[in-house]
Amino acid sequence: MSHHDAYKRDFAVNTRLPRIAALATCIGVVATLAAFLLLSLIHLFTNLFFFGALSFVDRSPAQHAPGAWVIVVPVIGGLIVGLMARFGSDKIRGHGIPEAIEAILFGKSRMSPKVALLKPLSSGIVIGSGGPFGAEGPIIMTGGAIGSLIAQYLKLTAAERKTLLVAGAAAGMTAVFGTPVAAVLLAVELLLFEWRPRSFLPVALACAVAGFARIPLFGAGPLFPLVTSPPDAISLLSCVVAGLLSGALASGLSAALYKVEDLFARLPIHWMWWPALGGIAIGIGGYLEPRALGVGYDVIGDLLHQNIALQAAVALLAVKAVMWVVALGSGTSGGVLAPLLMLGAGLGVALGPVLPGGEPALWPLVCMAATLGATLGAPLTAIVFAFGLTHDSNALLPLLAATLVAHGFATIVMRRSIMTEKIARRGYHIYREYGVDPLERHYVDEVMTREVETIDASQSAQDVLDTRFGAAQTHRAYPLVRDGAVVGMADRGWFEAQRATEHDRSTHATTPVFALASETCRLVATRLAVHRLERLPVVADRQSMRLIGIVSRSDLVKPSLAHFDEEHKRERFRRLPPIIRRRRFPPVRRAG
């Protein structure tokens, strides 16, 4: 490699990376403590609402069914949260992840202290009063708020704040589920909107720290340990069927959720009262099926281990689906991951006896991951998440096949995922595909013009106007050079303004905004936009300011032309032999 290309690297240099990584480590610990606090609040309010006890013991509402009182309890919880959202912060409404995405993309990753305090408290009240939600959405929002707040007290860029916000969110998910790798993938697929070491490494480090920090608080090992038999070849067909049905379930749940949200929006009452109305649906569902109340991790475990009879599972999950859709559509506070896991696992329980290949215990796990991946639009997260929850390595291949089929189905059928639909309804469209920007892949020295006409800074203005800006004018602006060093760029208007004075104009030339040959085209394009310029001189280094070329807006279009060819120009480089073409495509005989 030439020493002239030494600046070209696989990844951009970032000298601030160690500092951001160190901050992310601290945030990983704090987010783990926040997750412990949130789960403790859920236990506390569950005991208060359903058992009348001031206790932090983990108990399910189903262990104590208080008769008709169960209908009233969720209404009280919804009423409290509606008041908190109305008079505290409306950002606590919803399931957390869309709100985090909105803050990242449209709020410069700034979140308020109110969210950090009220989100876990409101979620603890809702779930503790029987809300059919998981803790992961609220802790993602809370962890993100913690990361954002810490970043706001420091002098950081919006991109660095985003990294710390996502570090807190992913660390919180790791703490709740013990799935650090899946949390990193969630960050990549849903929250970061880039794939760069500057953000990926701090987030991954925060998740690793949270994974270790949670052990003294929650213990080690998978949340739902499971071992299934290795799949056989015919399981592939079953995976396709399971994937298609899981994709259909995900699409149906997402559509139903926003239909219900639209119905609530038509009510002639303030949204503050909606969670209380949603609480009525929770209460009635809890009266019919007490196990549908609360987080339901115990139900997920029973579904995965085939401990619930088919008819009982179908009834339970039908009630859970209605409760979840109505409650979340009412704008209350709660997460989506645990309910989706439960509903997907229920689909697998129903399919287990009829799908060929693989043991029946495999399909609740497979459908759980496929439903989650299709709903979130994050298939890799769902696959690794299912493995992290069970540590069942035999299921990895079926998980891969079914989840990708479900994701493909949802991508074709659904315009947006459950994560982005709410944001789109607020007027912000999110495009979730991303790739390497052509301008990031190319450097200034690859597109600049090397043969440059310059103007000596000591030349008279009238002389320049006569020789360079007459009928034979070839360029709109020229670099001004003094003793071989660039002192600015000047066009006809500048010289006309200077014509009245003939003193040294090097002191009056525009400030020499310049480019370096080693900079990316993206960086230079941004500089042109910031300074509202059309071209920049390219200099050898900042010290000498020796001119080596010029780069213009039209030069920066060149990488995009190559990208256009890659995307749209269809080419064939080889042809089948004539004999094969004749056999595959026999000539058509014309009549007459």
CATH number at residue 239: 1.10.3080.10
Domain that includes residue 56, residue range: 15-435
**398 pLDDT exceeds 60?**
yes
445 shares a domain with 426: no
The answer as to whether 591 is a domain residue is no
**290 pLDDT exceeds 80?**
yes
192 shares a domain with 123: yes
**442 pLDDT exceeds 60?**
yes
Highest mean pLDDT among 5-9, 27-31, 338-342: 27-31
The answer as to whether 139 is a domain residue is yes
Average pLDDT over residues 517-543: 88
Instruction: Break the chain down into helix, strand, coil percent, rounded to 5.
Output: 60, 5, 30
* pLDDT score of 71: 86
Q: Are strands 485-491 and 515-516 parallel, antiparallel or unpaired?
A: unpaired
Q: Are 307 and 350 in contact (CB under 8 A)?
A: no
DSSP 272: G
Q: Are 130 and 293 in contact (CB under 8 A)?
A: yes
DSSP 237-258: HHHHHHHHHHHHHHHHHHHHHH
Sign of dihedral through CA atoms 104, 107, 108, 110? negative
**404 pLDDT exceeds 90?**
yes
Domain end among 405, 435, 465: 435
- Looking up residue 512, the CATH number of its domain turns out to be 3.10.580.10
Domain end among 407, 435, 463: 435
> Tokens standing for 174?
């790791």
N residues, the chain: 592
> What's the start-to-end Cα distance of the chain, in Å?
68
The answer as to whether 588 is a domain residue is no
CA 276, distance to chain mean position in Å, is 31
426 shares a domain with 449: no
265 shares a domain with 343: yes
Angle between helical axes of 136-152 and 97-106 (0-180°, round to 10): 30
Cα–Cα dist 42/74, whole Å: 13
243 shares a domain with 145: yes
52 shares a domain with 26: yes
**377 pLDDT exceeds 80?**
yes
Cα–Cα dist 260/164, whole Å: 34
* pLDDT score of 212: 96
Q: Residue with structure tokens 């639909």?
A: 421
The answer as to whether 570 is a domain residue is no
pLDDT class of 587 with cuts at 50, 70, 90: low
246 shares a domain with 112: yes
Q: Are strands 477-482 and 455-456 parallel, antiparallel or unpaired?
A: parallel
Q: Which helix (H) or strand (E) holds 538?
A: strand 535-539
Cα–Cα dist 388/222, whole Å: 7
Residue 43, C-beta contacts closer than 8 angstroms, at least 6 positions apart:
55, 56, 57, 58, 59, 128
pLDDT class of 465 with cuts at 50, 70, 90: confident
Q: Within 153-234, where are the H helices?
A: 158-177, 180-186, 197-213, 215-218
Cα–Cα dist 316/217, whole Å: 31
540 shares a domain with 410: no
Cα–Cα dist 27/439, whole Å: 33
pTM of the model: 0.82
Domain end among 404, 435, 466: 435
442 shares a domain with 552: yes
Cα–Cα dist 294/63, whole Å: 11
* pLDDT score of 175: 94
pLDDT class of 511 with cuts at 50, 70, 90: low
206 shares a domain with 98: yes
Q: How many CA atoms lie within 13 A of 127 on its CB side?
A: 35
- Average the pLDDT over each of 111-120, 142-151, 158-167, 168-177 and give the range with the smallest value: 111-120
Q: Are 469 and 499 in contact (CB under 8 A)?
A: no
471 shares a domain with 421: no
State the total domains in the chain: 2
Q: Residue with structure tokens 């609360």?
A: 294
Cα–Cα dist 214/23, whole Å: 18
DSSP 487: E
Q: What are phi and psi for residue 267, nearest 5 degrees?
A: -65, 140
The answer as to whether 587 is a domain residue is no
* pLDDT score of 133: 83
The answer as to whether 430 is a domain residue is yes
Residue 185 vs residue 480, higher pLDDT: 185
**514 pLDDT exceeds 60?**
yes
443 shares a domain with 431: no
The answer as to whether 577 is a domain residue is no
Which residue from 364, 372, 365, 359 is spatially nearest to 389, judged by alpha carbons? Answer: 365
Point out which residues pair with 482 in neighbouring strands. Answer: 485
Q: Residue with structure tokens 């052509």?
A: 438
The answer as to whether 585 is a domain residue is no
Q: Are 378 and 185 in contact (CB under 8 A)?
A: yes
